[in-house]
Structure 1
Amino acid sequence: MKQANKKNRKRKSAKRKTSSFQIIALITIGIALIFLAVQPNFSKQSSDESNHKIEIPFTKEGELSFISKQDNSTIRTIDLEIAEGLAETAQGLMYRYSMSDQQGMLFIMDNEEAQNFWMKETYISLDIIYVNSNFEIVRIHERAVPLSEQNIPSVRKAKYVVEVIGGFCDKFGIEEGDMIKYEKTTNQ
């Protein structure tokens, strides 16, 4: 009888050890499953944060009209952001990821001379329009390649540069020889 009690106690002890082991294993598996279920959300969140784009919003500071050389009629009027001075001119349309065909940027240069622009850190294709001091369009570069550091020259002297979304000039029939006129709508 003593022998049987001893065997029963050993079985109960072995069952308790097995039960404890099974409980620890189940808890470990449960924690692992919770971690795996939550982990993709952590990865997605940090991925979203690292992919967050710094975008500079459009600020309307005026309006610009393109005037036909044929009959002085207004071809198209757009909202305008104005870049004056070295810092604003250097920044230009960098870090913009979209722009409508109702928006553009006017660069007012210090001197009328041959100008060179580029597309560094500019993520959208642009038409770059060079304009002389008489407000005549002297050169158009259509669909400039985003992010290119290649110089885009005016060839002729220009006092103003207008940047609009790529394909704008073709879409609205803007040509060299047409004119521009602009008006500031905010105090600077």
Structure 2
Amino acid sequence: MRYIVLLSCYFIICLSACKDNKKVITQTEVTFKKEGELTIHKIKSDSTKVVIDIEIADTPFEIQTGLMYRSEMKVNHGMLFVFEDESPRSFYMKNTKIPLDLIFINAKKTIVSFQKNAKPFDESSLPSNAPAKYVLEVNAGMVDTWRLLVGDSIDFTKF
């Protein structure tokens, strides 16, 4: 009996010692870094255009991470994903805290499709529905606010 009591006390001491050694992991806030400027040209009006500041995701890590872990994004900001080739694309919202519109763009820099109002943290597939070389992520609702259409085009400069 004495052996059981001593073993129990030892077990409780070990558990309480382990409990105090928990490490707190904090997430570093990821902030916008202007890396270029993007202009959207409207197909139905030569004079109407939208200009936004962009971050550019063109490395495997940047493409995989995208806008994950961001708490906010300004209306005139976006992230442009640049791929090596034009092919069907599919995105998801894992670890993405803000709702987004995804704008799929072909190699000729023409908008080919949209995914509007992608929900935060949703891991459902968001396909391009057409081959795309570029994907522009902006705040949810901006596709409608800017009245974008399939056929509108973009150009961008990288700083």
TM range (shorter): 0.7 to 0.9
Percent identity among equivalent residues?
Answer: 40
**AA in 1 matched with 2:68:** M
Aligned to 1:138: 112
Mapped to 1, the partners of 2:100 and 2:25 lie a distance apart of 24
Alignment of 1:55-94 (within 5 A): 55-94=29-68
Mapped to 2, the partners of 1:70 and 1:120 lie a distance apart of 35
The structure number with the bigger radius of gyration is 1
**AA in 1 matched with 2:60:** L
Q: Give the TM-score taking structure 1 as reference length.
A: 0.69
Alignment of 1:27-176 (within 5 A): 53-176=27-150
Deviation at 1:110, TM superposition (A): 1.5
User: Does the residue aligned with 1:169 lie in a helix, a strand or coil?
Assistant: helix
User: Does the residue aligned with 1:90 lie in a helix, a strand or coil?
Assistant: helix
Gaps of 5+ in 2: 1-23
**AA in 1 matched with 2:59:** G
Gaps of 5+ in 1: 1-49
**AA in 1 matched with 2:151:** G
**AA in 1 matched with 2:76:** Q
Deviation at 1:71, TM superposition (A): 2.9
Larger relative contact order (C-alpha < 8 A, sep ≥ 6)? 2
Per-residue displacement from partner, 1:116-173 (whole Å, max 9, x unpaired)? 0010000000000000001000001111011011110001000000000000111111
Mapped to 2, the partners of 1:123 and 1:51 lie a distance apart of 18
Q: Give the aligned CA root-mean-square deviation in angstroms.
A: 1.4
Q: How many residues are aligned here?
A: 136
- Does structure 2 conserve the Cα–Cα contact (< 8 Å) formed by 1:119 and 1:144? yes
